[in-house]
Amino acid sequence: MPQIWPIGGGKGGTGKSFVTGSLGILLAREGYQTLLIDLDLGAANLHTTIGAPNPEKSLSDFVNKKVAALDETIIPTPTPNLFMISGAMNNLDIANLAHEQKTKILREIAKLPYNYILLDLGAGTSFNTIDFFMISNSGIFITTPEPTATENIYRLIRAVYFRKIRQVLNVYHFRALAKEAEERNSKATVTNPDLLLDMIKELDPEKGGMLEQELNTLEFGLLMNQHRKQDNPDIGRFICQIIEKHLALKIQFLGNIAFDENVHLAVCKKRPFLEMSPYSRTAIDFRECFKKLLIMKDKSFGIRHAVDRVL
């Protein structure tokens, strides 16, 4: 079963596609069979970060039933061991995928014969985006040292947290407990999922314990991209501390990736940045983060589980 790393982070332009492409190249170079899937339907540009030509096939061929199996949309890239499914040419938005289309994609992804599958989730925190994010227990968040980007990380992680609560409690239980929790403490609402969990634990210790266990299986990573010299190097670590303290979720800071003018140049030239500037600070940062990521690794036992639950 593949290890799946969903890569998201809310805000547009933080570098999700750039990071997905670069991590894919590093995995492929290690000899892992690696597949990148561009789920940023509508604004797909993942292929440009790995120097792949404009794709002739894409995910929409599967969604529109032009091809029967998802693996028929896979295309090779200039990097050995690295493959991708493009999202280009899609006129559909991930937020508008019908439930059965989404579950079909999720189910097929988990069956693909790769060591690693990286999902570029694009911006946004739609219901569907979060479902894709939760296909595995170890999603990776990308942010930049800017307040709006940080806020988006929090928004996304709260949404993930809240969705987990709803998955574990059945609808009936959830409504009843959430209502009672809110009556007892008016702050225990969707925007305060941690307090909600606290209240649920008090009202129904058994369900609360189950929930806590489920939340405990999640282990996220955070990457601070476009980091400039004058930026505080600790922001990423602090964000993780806040999340661990106040949402009781595990999230590991994977490191800062330096800002580099040449990234733009590489994208324009449609060449992988890691090949163009292998000795730049940014490339070194990537390799360091990559090492940490491999150590963190996906506890992939959660995948089937997560897929089943969406059904």
Partner 1 sequence: MGLMMKPYPKQTHYKILDIPTDASPYEINHAYRNAFELYQDDSMAAYSFFPDSERKEILARLEEAYLTLINPESRSVYDRSLMEMGIMEEENRYHDHSKRVMPIYDIRRKKTHYQWLSKVPVVDKSRVSENPSIQDILQKDRLTGQDLKRIRTTLGLTLAQIFLQTRIAIGILEAIEDDRFDHLPPAVYLKSFLKLYAQCLTIDADTVVQAYMKHMKLS
For residues 310 and 131, the answer to whether their CB atoms sit within 8 Å is: yes
136 binds, among Mg ion, ligand ATP, partner 1, none (CB under 5 to 8 A by kind): none
End-to-end CA distance of the chain: 19
Can you tell me the distance from the alpha carbon of 302 to that of 207, in angstroms, rounded to the nearest whole number? Answer: 19
How many positions of this chain bind partner 1 (CB under 8 A)? 32
Nearer to Mg ion, 16 or 47 (CB): 16
Nearer to partner 1, 70 or 199 (CB): 199
Contacts of residues 173-176 at CB distance under 8 Å and 24 or more positions apart, as own/partner, are 173/204, 173/207
Q: Is 80 helix (H, G, I), strand (E, B) or coil?
A: coil
295 binds, among Mg ion, ligand ATP, partner 1, none (CB under 5 to 8 A by kind): partner 1
Which segment (7-15, 28-36, 130-138, 166-174) binds ligand ATP by CB under 6 A? 7-15
Q: Is 38 helix (H, G, I), strand (E, B) or coil?
A: strand
For the CA atoms of 17, 21, 26, 28, the dihedral, rounded to the nearest 10 degrees, stands at: 140
Residue 240 neighbours by CB under 8 Å, 6+ apart: 222, 251, 252, 253
Which segment (39-47, 72-80, 189-197, 298-306) binds Mg ion by CB under 5 A? 39-47
Using alpha carbons, select from 47, 63, 66, 43 the residue that is nearest to residue 55.
47
* Residue 233 makes contact with ligand ATP by CB under 6 A: no
Which segment (95-103, 230-238, 262-270, 287-295) binds ligand ATP by CB under 6 A? 262-270
Among 179, 245, 269, 305, binds partner 1 (CB under 8 A): 245
* Residue 113 makes contact with partner 1 by CB under 8 A: no
Residue 13 neighbours by CB under 8 Å, 6+ apart: 123
Nearer to partner 1, 88 or 197 (CB): 197
Which segment (50-58, 104-112, 229-237, 276-284) binds partner 1 by CB under 8 A? 229-237
DSSP 96: G
For residues 120 and 40, the answer to whether their CB atoms sit within 8 Å is: yes
Nearer to ligand ATP, 87 or 208 (CB): 87
Tokens of 25: 């190249």
Cβ at position 199, least distance to ligand ATP in Å: 35
* Residue 300 makes contact with partner 1 by CB under 8 A: no
* Residue 71 makes contact with partner 1 by CB under 8 A: no
Residue ranges that bind ligand ATP, judged by CB under 6 A: 12-18, 40, 43, 45, 122-123, 225-226, 257, 259-260, 263-264, 267, 282
